[in-house]
Structure 1
């Protein structure tokens, strides 16, 4: 259970970091690239929180709510991965550091 707690905190911190980086950037490509990364972090946060709560309570209502949240979280991860793959090469070409 400690692994899910660490994953929750880490994904929350990275989500906030990427959202702040989006606000600070003026470049549309950088914003789109970081938005994809923040989607991955948000989906990871939702899914790991759901699994952690179900392991903790193990009730029927926790299962139903968990299923709904996993249905919401997995598409966020999938769409974020697609966005990051789409923008990665161009972003690295323009930002060589």
Structure 2
């Protein structure tokens, strides 16, 4: 399963990209928007990492840890997507 390591690396790269973009931006709204996008990338990293670890080890302990990490990943992706939508609408409202 080569697809999971590729997704894991890409989500980690995008997480670092958005964290660096936060440092380069001076606008608070843009920083919050990039932080929300980085949260989505971190959540996808955690989610796919959990799936990959369970597929690799296939033990009860890996299943338990994988379920916990899956929950954390889903929570991060869900809250991040809500924040991205909110900040995108705010940016469109202010720059319309």
TM normalised by structure 1 equals: 0.91
My pick for the range that moved more, 3-12 or 83-92, is 83-92
Equivalent residue, structure 2, for 1:6: 6
- Aligned-pair CA distance for 1:26: 1.1
- Which consecutive unaligned segments of at least 5 residues does structure 2 have? none
- What CA deviation, in whole Å up to 9, does each residue of 1:39-87 have, x standing for no partner? 0000000000010010011000000001111111111000000000001
Equivalent residue, structure 2, for 1:40: 40
What is the DSSP-based 3-state SS (H/G/I as helix, E as strand, rest coil) of the residue aligned with 2:26? coil
What is the DSSP-based 3-state SS (H/G/I as helix, E as strand, rest coil) of the residue aligned with 2:21? helix
Counterpart-to-counterpart distance in 2, 1:71 and 1:90: 29
Counterpart-to-counterpart distance in 2, 1:3 and 1:70: 17
Equivalent residue, structure 2, for 1:71: 71
- Which consecutive unaligned segments of at least 5 residues does structure 1 have? none
- Over the residues paired in the alignment, what is the CA RMSD in angstroms? 1.6
CA pair 42-27 structure 1, distance change in 2 beyond 3 A:
same
